[in-house]
Structure 1
């Protein structure tokens, strides 16, 4: 939903009612995961997508009905074997959507949620989707406060505690509670939609390959930082896709920078006096991906130096070197695609082989929950 919040914020500020459809459950293969959203606002303007095009027409009509009635609706769409032309997901999956009307009166917290997400501040929106609680009721949860209610103080307290835990992981999904907040599987179903700050991509080495990696990192939604010790190369003009460009020794900058399990580290310097101290630091801290470019000879020399620096086999196994998948890439842009493909494959557990050579679902469930 992050990509459509700007439009939703404008409608909300104008006081214009709009219908918001959010994917709350995905079964088998589906092109969009939980949290994907589509909205229908003034003059029947539609933004966003919940299925990549399969069921958007039906969702558009459902959102119009919800705006008119004010009554939330839970709807499930899936592929029909009996009628391939019926509304459905031709990829073979099934999605369940909650469609609700949003206005300042019905959801007083929505504007503050939009502001927080736009500013990169963490927030989770908890919404009742089923059970003995007001369907469509929302509770916005920040690390230090909440706004709204799901119908009872006990339920609000239990959901807020879980939401803060999910927010720390950037996770989105369903939880089940009793009406008073007790953990039960047969009562109130609540959808927790976490908006964590964008993950970081740290690119070390201000060369043309770094510029291409920074561009594709920005495209994938990372907050990109480019770092190089050479001020003549590390300039904002050369890296417009980066949030920041830092002039510093790479290992020194990384030592003073927080990373987490979503952080991506790309090393493109090809120079052992930069690479080795940097990778020695990187391989001993949390990160989702640590990749280093270079030839086979560069890789072997780099590994030898890292072993001499005291890194063990477990630490060295985290290094993706030479970085990227085998795409036959030549240009900086093609190499950046290769590196991005490896990052995506590692994140979701993909094999990296052509889909024509695989079987089973194309869009596996989110392993993070």
Structure 2
């Protein structure tokens, strides 16, 4: 799934105007998270999803009005239990939507999203601050700021400084908020670059990897088919521990996108081939498999026989980790996490080098 901010910048580069729908509040079991965004184009085609047909149909209908006059709309959308049942949904829920007009002619808006793209590609955490003007007005680029831990992008504005101070005071714990201050109404959207690390296998090396990644802003999820290994006693600080019935159909249990990192360390490497084949069907940013060169060649040959290509296998980091002659589980974990950091950072640094050469 392409990052929504990359999509926004692509459309702005193409000089397309569109409506951006943002879920900024939800209740009950709505499937999409707060901050989820969807682009609605002039022809009412959409990019992304905000959690189902009713919500998306409402957003598309309202977008016609936004296209017409440029004014933002805030709308509460509800899906009652009765309607959910008719739609074969699990249960009801409601969301609050912000629909705003994004115009490529607004240079400040374009600049703001370029800064967002830069921070996303660099892997930085940041917060988007949007001042909500009075009803019937448009949200312009001058109404938006991007705040990282060390930088602030946007128009100079004394009134927004108190909002920025509040954000900086609790930067790591900031949540999406719609706040009403004397200075005005503001939507606060943290973009904490949710890099997701899936550790498939819950052995000793996995434990040590999780201990390191907890301090590096990786959302870490551990998966195994053994409850005695995949449990909270052994993995206290990860976001999630999943026990699966088997390593078949892994894509039912993981939501892999291009900001996902996969570390394959199943017990005795018995299921590494099976898992690797499934992960190669995703657009994960990193896929690493532990094991010797001999084991790697055996797995690769099996996958080639199954129809995978040499190009597919070039995506795999195996043997896994940076070469530091690691031996202990702790050392192996350090080498693997170092490689995750290298992959995370190198694409941004390479892009910067290319841009510098062009300039």
The two structures have a TM-score, normalised by structure 2, of: 0.55
2:265 alignment partner in structure 1: 204
Q: What whole-Å deviation, never above 9, does each CA across 1:240-298 have from its counterpart, x for those lacking one?
A: 49664325647223135659xxx9xxxxxxxxxxxxxxxxxxxxxxxxxxxxxxxxxxx
Question: Does the 8 A contact of 2:149 with 2:168 survive in 1?
Answer: no
Question: Does the 8 A contact of 1:138 with 1:148 survive in 2?
Answer: yes
In structure 2, the CA distance between the partners of 1:67 and 1:86, relative to structure 1 (3 Å rule), is farther
Q: Distance in 1 between matches of 2:91 and 2:19?
A: 26
Asked if 1:138 corresponds to 2:144, the answer is yes
Asked if 1:122 corresponds to 2:201, the answer is no
In structure 2, the CA distance between the partners of 1:82 and 1:196, relative to structure 1 (3 Å rule), is closer
The Cα of 1:30 is off from its aligned counterpart by: 0.8
The Cα of 1:128 is off from its aligned counterpart by: 3.5
Q: Which runs of 5+ in 2 are unaligned?
A: 199-262, 304-311, 342-359
**Equivalent position SS for 2:153:** strand
Asked if 1:253 corresponds to 2:341, the answer is no
The two structures have a TM-score, normalised by structure 1, of: 0.54
Q: Which runs of 5+ in 1 are unaligned?
A: 181-186, 264-369
In structure 2, the CA distance between the partners of 1:124 and 1:211, relative to structure 1 (3 Å rule), is farther
Question: Does the 8 A contact of 1:130 with 1:188 survive in 2?
Answer: yes
1:367 alignment partner in structure 2: none
In structure 2, the CA distance between the partners of 1:195 and 1:130, relative to structure 1 (3 Å rule), is farther
Asked if 1:153 corresponds to 2:137, the answer is no
1:62 alignment partner in structure 2: 62
Question: Does the 8 A contact of 1:40 with 1:64 survive in 2?
Answer: no
Q: Distance in 1 between matches of 2:59 and 2:80?
A: 17
Q: CA RMSD in A?
A: 4.2
Q: Distance in 2 between matches of 1:63 and 1:243?
A: 43
1:25 alignment partner in structure 2: 25
Question: Does the 8 A contact of 1:155 with 1:178 survive in 2?
Answer: no
2:14 alignment partner in structure 1: 14
Q: Distance in 1 between matches of 2:273 and 2:165?
A: 41
